Amino acid sequence: MKDIWIIFKREFAAYFYSPIAYVFSIIFIVLNCGLYMFHFFFFGNADMRAFFSALPVTLALIFIPAICMRLWSEEKKLGTIELLLTLPMKAEHVVLGKYLAGLAFYLVALAGTLAIPIMLLFLGKPDFGPIIGGYFGAVLLGAFYLAVGIFISGFFADQIVSLIITSLVCGFFALIGWQYVPMVIDGWFPGLGDFLYSYVGVTRHFNDIARGVIDVRSLVYFLSLSALFITLNIKYLDGRKY
């Protein structure tokens, strides 16, 4: 636990030392909140459906890859990864420390969007159930994408390559949850699109939670896939010793 905390502190502070982190956080808030506010007064509904419906894609394509890209790639580029792995720490502690730091930074940025429910409270009587569900889903979604991102970051020394590959993989998980993409895949390989939509796509599970319905199945989906990618990252780093 102590080792995780040491790594967590180092990584979390590192985010705030870099101006890039601020730039990405501001882009994340302005993009998501701006998109939400663009049509807000046109529809005039005191809910956050529009905000949460865009989140799987905006997180997958921009924000999470940006958080993750430096986690291992920078260590590799600077050569500090060998030093880190030879420290008297278990690989899982190092990975978890870095992962939790990324997650904490994401939560700080996500907290910036809490201005929306505050505004809704002043302008109407929103049902806070789906809003709480939406934020809970956003945490699970971010945790899952981060697990994917940290895993991919472990393979590349170049941060940009890491960012692009993470965007592609997370984007795949987001897009496969839309109905149109599985339909096209089903056209080529009957049944595959439906399988990917039902069991692999992230959007369906996220949308359920964002509606205010926390289903055990969705929790299992997010937790098992997050655990899978973290485990793979640990195993891969363990193997680098050879």
Partner 1 sequence: MKNLRKLFIRTFLIGSGLLLGIALLVIMVFDNLNLGRFDLTAEQVYKLSPSVEKILSRLEAPIEITYYVSSSEKMPTKWKNLERDVIDKLEELKLASKGRVTYKVFDPSAEEEREAYEERRAKEKEEKGQASKPAPRKRIAERLAEKGVGPFGVQSAERDEFAVKRIYSSLVLSYLDRKEDVIEQVRPEMFGSLEYEIVSRIYKLTATKRPKVGFFPDQPETPPQYRQFQQSPPDAYSMAVELLRNAGYDVVRTNITKDDTIPGDIQTMVMMVDEPLTERQLYEIDRLVHKGVRLVLAGQTYNYQIYPARGGASGGFDVQAMPTRININSLTKNYGFEIDTKIFMDRSAAFVQVPTYRTRRMGIFQIQEQSYEPVSKPVIIKVNQENINSRVSVANKITELFYMYGNRLNLYNEILEKDHLKATVLFTSSNHSWTTESLGYRPVDTSEPASGDFLRRQPLGVLIEGTFSARYLDQPPPKWSSEGSGVDSTAAPLITGPGAPTKIIAYGCSNMFKDDVLRAVDSHKALLLNSVDALTLGDELIHIRAKNIEARRIKETSAFGKSLAKFFVVWFPALCFVALGVVLTMRRKMK
Tell me the residue type at 148.
V
Residues between 132 and 171 that touch partner 1 (CB under 8 A):
132-133
Closer CB to partner 1, 13 or 168, in the complex: 13
Task: Name the one range near partner 1 by CB under 8 A: 55-63, 87-95, 164-172, 206-214.
Answer: 206-214
Residue with Cβ nearer partner 1 (5 or 199)? 199
Residue with tokens 């990324």: 102
Contacts of 211 (CB under 8 A, 6+ apart): 49, 130, 133
Report the C-alpha gap between 33 and 52 in whole angstroms: 10
**Cα separation of 234 and 92, whole Å?**
5
Do the beta carbons of residue 192 and residue 186 sit within 8 Å? yes
CB 222 → partner 1: shortest distance, Å? 10
Among 74, 84, 186, 211, binds partner 1 (CB under 8 A): 211
Query: Which one of 17-25, 76-84, 98-106, 186-194 is the stretch in contact with partner 1 (CB under 8 A)?
Result: 17-25
**Residue 88, exposed/middle/buried by CB under 10 A (0-12, 13-18, 19+)?**
exposed
Please give the residue ranges that form the binding site for partner 1 (CB under 8 A).
16-17, 19, 22, 25-26, 29-30, 33-34, 36-37, 40-47, 49, 112-116, 118-120, 122-130, 132-133, 179-180, 183, 198-200, 204, 207-208, 211-217, 220-221, 224-225, 227-228, 231-232, 235-236, 239, 242
